[in-house]
Amino acid sequence: MRILVVEDDTNLNRQLKDALTDAGYVVDVAFDGEEGHFLGDTEPYDAIVLDIGLPQMDGLSVLEAWRRDGRNTPVLLLTARDRWSDKVQGIDAGADDYVAKPFHMEEVLARLRALVRRAAGHASNEIEAGPIRLDARAGRVTVDGQAIKLTSHEFRLLAYLIHHKGKVISRTELTEHLYDQDFDRDSNTIEVFVGRLRKKLPADCIETVRGLGYQISEG
């Protein structure tokens, strides 16, 4: 899952990036509204953390511009404490949720998990596909009740496929959602990761749909 953080406070930006990276997300950052707007407009994020008070272009204008252009990526707004008007305007502008500053990092993580889940149409932290059960909060995967060990890359790949079960996911989509901007986007890399992941799962859990991509098996 790939997240964009738009926050001009360099300290807070770094704290968010570190916490989200530790939680298993791939994170891009922007420090002003224009840069943030550009990235959100051109890169396919799974969710965006957006501060309201930003230089160049404020967060509400950024959000309004995305929504006007039909970008419906889930957005978690960071608002100033006790500014209820920010919250109302934020929701009106198309925010999916907000957290007031100062916040506990755990709250941001919990709200983001919920946004990503809801965007994919799931109501719980635990998602199943056939014998596989993935707990997004604990970062744990079991097969027929037995825990299996995955690297962070393998976990992200499986989480993406399982959040989008029932759909065929192209290599390009996987590459765009699982790696940050600087990653060498060679689709062979995805094949290597899929191959490794397959070795840790029962046979046929990940189907290759010729010419289109991969799909998690629900059988």
58 binds Ca ion (CB under 5 A): no
Report helix, strand or coil for 106: helix
Whether the CB-CB separation of 139 and 109 falls below 8 Å is answered with: no
Q: By three-state DSSP, how is residue 26 classified?
A: strand
Q: How far is the C-alpha of 185 from the C-alpha of 124, rounded, in Å?
A: 32
> Closest separation between CB of residue 80 and Ca ion, Å?
8
Binds Ca ion by CB under 5 A, chosen from 1, 4, 5, 8? 8
Question: How far is C-alpha 172 from the geometric centre of its chain's CA atoms?
Answer: 16
Cβ–Cβ under 8 Å, residues 24 and 51: no
Q: What share of the chain is helix, strand, coil (3-state, %, to 5)?
A: 40, 20, 35
Choices 43-51, 144-152, 180-188, 203-211 (CB under 5 A): range interacting with Ca ion: 43-51
**35, 51, 86, 154: residue in contact with Ca ion (rule CB under 5 A):** 51
Q: Angle 33-42/59-68 helices, nearest 10 degrees?
A: 20
Q: Whole-number minimum distance, CB 121 to Ca ion, in Å?
A: 32
- Selected from 24, 53, 94, 131, the binder of Ca ion by CB under 5 A is 53
Segment contacting Ca ion by CB under 5 A, of 4-12, 23-31, 92-100, 146-154: 4-12
Number of residues located near Ca ion, criterion CB under 5 A? 3
Least Å distance, CB 166 to Ca ion, is 39
Closest CB to Ca ion among 5 and 206? 5
CB of 53 to Ca ion, least distance (A): 4
**C-beta separation of 188 from 148 below 8 A:** no
Closer residue to Ca ion in complex, CB, 56/170: 56
> CB of 49 within 8 A of CB of 16?
yes
Q: Which residue is nearest to Ca ion (CB)?
A: 53
Nearer to Ca ion (CB atom), residue 28 or residue 51: 51
Interacting residues toward Ca ion by CB under 5 A: 8, 51, 53
